């Protein structure tokens, strides 16, 4: 009989231990997946997760259940995912607030964006526009900036809240254009938009999905888009870069899909493939366009590159202006 050496026993033990994992990977997914959204039901992030999740569910052959965990600038949902088993059954809609801004907005976080999450792929951008209501302080963005320079702090500008992409885009615009607006933060884009329409505030930084209906009808007017390119539905509205000569200026709210950090490579690779197919699906892209979202494609490498650019742009701004949510 052949005698096993200690080395052979170790190899055999390792092989036997790997069998359950290999079986699990081969069968994945064999039950429903949980998709955590760190915002309330009915909002843009929730709508995107349900749209993408329905298509992704069909591709994976298992249900995807959206779980809303709003609060604390996405920290509640992010913490829940960071502490979840890394088994491929917990997905998370992560945005630039969760993965970039919060590291500077809070002294302490219940999660670490780098240590606790692993990128799967990109999903969408929410274009931002500088919008005015019927009581507009100016008809063009150039005239608006000239008026703001003449009377610093005299023009109110609403945003979806302190530390939101809308707020930080306003701060960046103000710094680069050399103006000062009076920031009026709200608890979300919807109440700010209501006050813009009512004339309570004269202007706001608005994400296109929240205001698309009113921008299309003319009840709200876009003076400039904060994207690098004009919006397809608003081709006559200039970019801030073109209108004000702010080279390289662009700002968005964006969304990507992440999982707990230790999720196995094979599971992440499968999720990345199926998410990419979902984001290229014409039905998904068509619906996203209808609600004002720009489709993003790209796997973990593209996701990481975006994070690097975003951190280099926004973290110094937040710290220089001492913006905090603590």
CA angle 140, 171, 191 (to 5 degrees): 75
- The CA distance from 22 to 186, in Å, is 50
**For 31-126+253-320, CATH number?**
3.40.190.150
- The answer to whether residue 17 scores a pLDDT higher than 70 is no
8 Å CB contact between 225 and 127: yes
- The answer to whether residue 5 scores a pLDDT higher than 90 is no
16 vs 109 pLDDT, higher one: 109
- The CA distance from 73 to 161, in Å, is 10
Helical ranges in 28-62 per DSSP H:
44-60
The structure tokens listed for 290 are 């209808």
- The CA distance from 224 to 234, in Å, is 10
User: Is it true that 31-126+253-320 and 129-244 share their CATH fold?
Assistant: yes
Which residue is associated with the tokens 């170790």?
Answer: 10
- The answer to whether residue 3 scores a pLDDT higher than 50 is no
- The CA distance from 209 to 215, in Å, is 10
pLDDT at residue 222, rounded to an integer: 96
Query: Is the full-model pTM beyond 0.85?
Result: yes
- The CA distance from 257 to 251, in Å, is 20
Q: Is domain 129-244 classified as CATH 3.40.190.10?
A: yes
Q: pLDDT band at 146, cuts 50/70/90?
A: very high
Length of the chain: 326
Cβ neighbours of 196 (radius 10 Å): 28
Q: What residues does each domain of the chain span?
A: 31-126+253-320, 129-244
Q: Return the H-helix or E-strand segment holding 221.
A: strand 221-225
Cβ neighbours of 130 (radius 10 Å): 24
Q: What percent of the chain clears pLDDT 70, i.e. is strictly above it?
A: 92
pLDDT tens figures, 81-126: 999 999 999 999 999 999 999 999 999 999 999 999 999 999 999 9
pLDDT tens figures, 172-211: 999 999 999 999 999 889 899 999 999 999 999 999 999 9
Cβ neighbours of 208 (radius 10 Å): 26
């Amino acid at each position: 009989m052949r005698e096993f050496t200690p080395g052979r026993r170790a190899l055999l033990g390792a092989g036997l231990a790997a069998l359950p994992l290999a079986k699990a990977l081969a069968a994945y997914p064999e039950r429903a997946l949980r998709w955590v959204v760190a915002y309330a039901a009915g909002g843009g992030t929730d709508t995107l997760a349900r749209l993408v999740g329905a298509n992704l569910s069909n591709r994976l052959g298992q249900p995807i259940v959206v779980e809303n965990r709003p609060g604390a600038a996405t920290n509640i949902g992010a913490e829940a995912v960071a502490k979840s088993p890394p088994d491929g059954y917990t997905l998370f809609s992560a945005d630039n607030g969760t993965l970039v801004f919060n590291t500077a907005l809070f002294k302490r976080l219940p999660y670490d964006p780098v240590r606790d999450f692993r990128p799967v792929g990109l999903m969408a951008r929410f274009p931002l526009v500088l919008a005015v209501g019927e009581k507009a302080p100016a008809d063009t963005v150039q005239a608006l900036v000239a008026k703001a320079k003449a009377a610093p702090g005299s023009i109110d500008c609403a945003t979806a809240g302190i530390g939101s992409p809308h707020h930080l885009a306003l701060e960046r615009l103000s710094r680069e254009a050399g103006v000062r607006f009076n920031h009026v933060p709200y608890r979300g884009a919807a109440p700010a938009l209501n006050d813009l329409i009512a004339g309570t505030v004269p202007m706001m930084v608005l994400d296109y999905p929240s205001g698309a209906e009113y921008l299309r009808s003319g009840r709200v007017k876009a003076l400039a888009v904060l994207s690098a390119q004009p919006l397809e539905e608003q081709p006559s509205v200039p970019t801030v870069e073109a209108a004000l000569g702010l080279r390289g200026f662009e700002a968005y709210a964006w969304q990507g899909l992440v999982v707990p950090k230790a999720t196995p490579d094979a599971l992440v690779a499968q999720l990345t493939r199926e998410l990419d197919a979902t984001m290229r699906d014409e039905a998904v892209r068509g619906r996203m366009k209808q609600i004002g979202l720009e489709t993003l494609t790209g796997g973990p490498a593209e996701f990481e590159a975006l994070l690097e650019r975003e951190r280099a742009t926004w973290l110094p701004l937040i710290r220089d202006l001492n913006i905090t949510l603590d």
